[in-house]
Structure 1
Amino acid sequence: MNSIFYLLVLLIFILMLTSCMTNEKSEKLLQERLEYDSAVLTDSTRSVISGIDGSEIDAFLLEEKIRSLMDSAKVTGLAIAILNDNQIVFRKAFGYANQRKKTSLQINHSFYGASFSKAVFGYIVTILADEGVIDLDKPLQQYLEFPLYALKPEHKWRGFQDLENDKRYEKITARMCLTHTAGFQNWRWIPRPNDPENREKLKIYFDPGTQYFYSGEGIMLLQYVIEHITGKGIEELAKEKVFDPLQMRNTSYVWQKKFESKYCQGHTENQNVIKKNRRDEAQAAGSMETNLIDYSVFVKHIMQLYKQGSGITKMMLNPSFRIRTKAQFGPLSLEQSDENDDIQLSYGLGWGLLQSPHGPGAFKEGHDDGFQHYSIIFPDKGTGVVILSNSDNAESIFKETLEIAIADIYTPWQWENYIPYQMKRE
């Protein structure tokens, strides 16, 4: 009888202890949520912002200049974060999330991240390389028990069977995919400038590792090999390596129900609203949904790792391939040029790279119908910018915005086709 009594007392004690622990955990999660929501509603603004050259601009004046640029170029909405000393010191949203409804854009509005997805993927792959999971320079074929062309994605993505008769696929490595030197076109449904008749077939246009040609196809190939090696999907890997550790609660490679309450629409050049695409397939090359808060936290993390001397950032931001093309896209992307030799334009693991008098710069673009984004960091200076826009006109003010905000005159704006709106109208 005594033993039953003691057992009951012990059971009650365990239940009380579990309840306390649960309450503590719940209170901690609630506190974290409140802190996050507070950050969402608060713009980070330092009164004076420093440029990479030591110049300064008053935050109020910067806001006025951005508004003026947006008005002149008919940019529907734009959210911008600026980092000084590796900290987010300015974070502001301008314009509309939905022009038709006149919904004001806020810094916690969700954007389609487009190719910002590739920068996050580059970081994930670099972590895996640092952990010894993958060798960046080992042919991807050597990680498979079957021919690479037989790799079958589990999702809706088309396979790689078009490569069966071109043995050059056996040379393709992870580094080539991340530096856009695998030999593919950007997307198989977009004709390459020198092959306008081919609209559906995936091809290797040059020996892998010998030329630069921006390719989402190469990123997708690497994604599926990584998933095969690890046994995990890209969304699971992203949550494990990036989103959860950095508390990027509103970032995902697939559309989440929680995004429904706070997202912005894309807009055409005429500021017409574009229907929202809720992507249900995780694509490392471009399916990520994010907001200014989360993505600026990611960029801040990369900058802080660099400051700490992390081997991961040394690997990721090390120039792997020198770029000497006249443009990144279009017919001029097939023309050789030395126009960007002064900035040593190169590519690292998922990031574009350059050199300036103020140290190296690392940048990444994002572009799709209705959405245009840009980010660049100068890690030696602890300075960076993240720009998210839901307008097809945004790229026409990137050059001036970067110059005004952080004195960045090194971004290869012509190569990226960021033609200022004034020049377009001439």
Structure 2
Amino acid sequence: MRTILIILVMITTNSFAQHIKTIDGKTLSSKEIDEIIVNAMASNNLPGVSIAIINKNEIIYHKVFGVGNSKTKELVTTQDFFEGASLSKPIFAYFVMRMVEKGKIDLDKPLYQYLPHPGIAPESQEDYKLITARMVLAHQTGFPNHANNQLIKLAFKPGTDFSYSGEAYQYLAAIIGMQNGIGFKEDLNKLFQKEVTQPLQMKHTTFVWNDYLDNHKVFGHDEEGNPTQNKPVAGRWNGKTFNAFSSVHSEAFEYAKFIIAMLKREGLKESLFEEMLKEQTHFKDNNPIKLETNQTGWGLGFAQKQTKNGLMHLHTGNNHDFQAYTMFVPEQEYGIVIFTNCGNMLPFLKTISITLGNQF
């Protein structure tokens, strides 16, 4: 892989603390963290990063580094946005719980009673009728990750195992759109913003394309470090559809406001936060994700992992030329949000964990 020239830029428009507590309780200066990030970017070939760290349930550090386009060397700014990829799923889950609280959907009512799915294979017709919103958010449906215009044959009886599925999330999005009489495009995004981003003051976070993204989205980058795209393109997302599993666009400071809402339990009834944060799916010992990452299961929207510092709630996002990550540990009142414009986020995350403590 070609080495990307890292141009250091640290821009912030807010006043933050000069000392940050790591997940392990160590205190580092803001300058030390800057150096950790810059070195990790250089060693892992990241063009640009937006990063926020949460201490005591507040954003204590937010900076951007590098370039939004490796060819033009245009610097990333705090106004620039990234693809969140699968960071769409946890914030969509929060949106779903808002709909549960309003009585628009029941977590445990079979979804076919709201809207029959038109693409289920004949041999799965009976079992699919067991699927609920709870199963969707905890990845217990048996749906594939993506159906790719093929009939869906369930991998197992719903509720009995784990199968990560963006396809199931989109089915639930269609139901929410139908329940509100608005479909699953721009109007669903408007409802999402009314229920989630406006109360949380996430001014520009969106699931559909708009003028702000047109002016402020950075470029993704391929494995060679070359810029790919920063607009909707043929064969990918068209910009108009609310893709509950992948199309959220944001940056670290705005998305961290959602993580703080999870930490402070703001915007939902306490009982609904309990549902989101308790283990809904427990991984079997031979689960590939557990074997690879030591994750133990899934709540409603977030993966979970038992750590020495407490229960970690986490999610990765991977659109290949954009990758993102978030996690929080309620016991430590700690969280982190990372948006990158390339496919090397996980090595970067492992590198900064050497000093910041285990972030993944």
**Equivalent runs, 1:65-214 vs 2, <5 Å:** 65-144=36-115, 148-150=116-118, 160-162=119-121, 166-189=125-148, 200-214=150-164
Is 1:79–1:94's contact at 8 Å kept on the other side of the alignment?
Answer: yes
1:374 aligns to what?
325
Q: Distance in 2 between matches of 1:284 and 1:262?
A: 22
1:57 corresponds to 2:28: yes
Deviation at 1:210, TM superposition (A): 1.2
1:316 aligns to what?
276
Deviation at 1:383, TM superposition (A): 0.6
Instruction: Kindly provide the CA deviation profile for residues 258-308 of structure 1, in whole angstroms up to 9, marking residues without a partner as x.
Output: 222221000012111112242221111111111222111221222121799
Q: Distance in 2 between matches of 1:249 and 1:359?
A: 31
From the superposition, tell whether residues 231 and 376 of structure 1 become closer, same or farther in structure 2 (CA, over 3 Å): same
Deviation at 1:368, TM superposition (A): 0.5
Deviation at 1:129, TM superposition (A): 2.0
- Identify which of 347, 350, 354 aligns with 2:301: 350
From the superposition, tell whether residues 163 and 116 of structure 1 become closer, same or farther in structure 2 (CA, over 3 Å): farther
Q: Distance in 2 between matches of 1:67 and 1:288?
A: 26
Amino acid at match of 2:259: V
How many residue pairs get aligned? The number is 340
Amino acid at match of 1:149: H
1:217 aligns to what?
167
RMSD: 2.4
Percentage of pairs with the same residue: 30
Deviation at 1:142, TM superposition (A): 2.4
Secondary structure of the corresponding residue to residue 273 of structure 2: helix
Deviation at 1:250, TM superposition (A): 1.1
Amino acid at match of 1:304: K
Is 2:51–2:64's contact at 8 Å kept on the other side of the alignment?
Answer: yes
Range 68-77 or range 353-362, more displaced: 353-362
1:296 aligns to what?
256
From the superposition, tell whether residues 240 and 44 of structure 1 become closer, same or farther in structure 2 (CA, over 3 Å): same
Secondary structure of the corresponding residue to residue 300 of structure 1: helix
From the superposition, tell whether residues 60 and 71 of structure 1 become closer, same or farther in structure 2 (CA, over 3 Å): same
Structure 1: gaps of 5 or more residues: 1-39, 151-159, 190-198, 412-426
Is 2:189–2:207's contact at 8 Å kept on the other side of the alignment?
Answer: yes
Is 2:104–2:176's contact at 8 Å kept on the other side of the alignment?
Answer: no
Is 2:214–2:231's contact at 8 Å kept on the other side of the alignment?
Answer: no
Secondary structure of the corresponding residue to residue 276 of structure 1: coil
Deviation at 1:312, TM superposition (A): 2.9
1:258 aligns to what?
212
Is 1:73–1:396's contact at 8 Å kept on the other side of the alignment?
Answer: yes
Is 1:354–1:360's contact at 8 Å kept on the other side of the alignment?
Answer: yes
Instruction: Kindly provide the CA deviation profile for residues 136-187 of structure 1, in whole angstroms up to 9, marking residues without a partner as x.
Output: 122112224xxx133xxxxxxxxx2546863211111111111111001111
1:391 corresponds to 2:337: no
Instruction: Kindly provide the CA deviation profile for residues 229-266 of structure 1, in whole angstroms up to 9, marking residues without a partner as x.
Output: 23244313211211111222211110101222221000
TM-score, normalising length: structure 2 = 0.87
Q: Distance in 2 between matches of 1:326 and 1:124?
A: 32
Which has the greater radius of gyration? 1
From the superposition, tell whether residues 121 and 307 of structure 1 become closer, same or farther in structure 2 (CA, over 3 Å): closer
Secondary structure of the corresponding residue to residue 79 of structure 1: strand
2:311 aligns to what?
360
TM-score, normalising length: structure 1 = 0.74
From the superposition, tell whether residues 286 and 392 of structure 1 become closer, same or farther in structure 2 (CA, over 3 Å): same
2:222 aligns to what?
268
- Identify which of 236, 239, 246 aligns with 1:286: 246
Task: Compare relative contact order (CA 8 Å, sep 6+) and give the higher one, 1 or 2.
Answer: 2
From the superposition, tell whether residues 403 and 323 of structure 1 become closer, same or farther in structure 2 (CA, over 3 Å): farther
1:244 aligns to what?
198
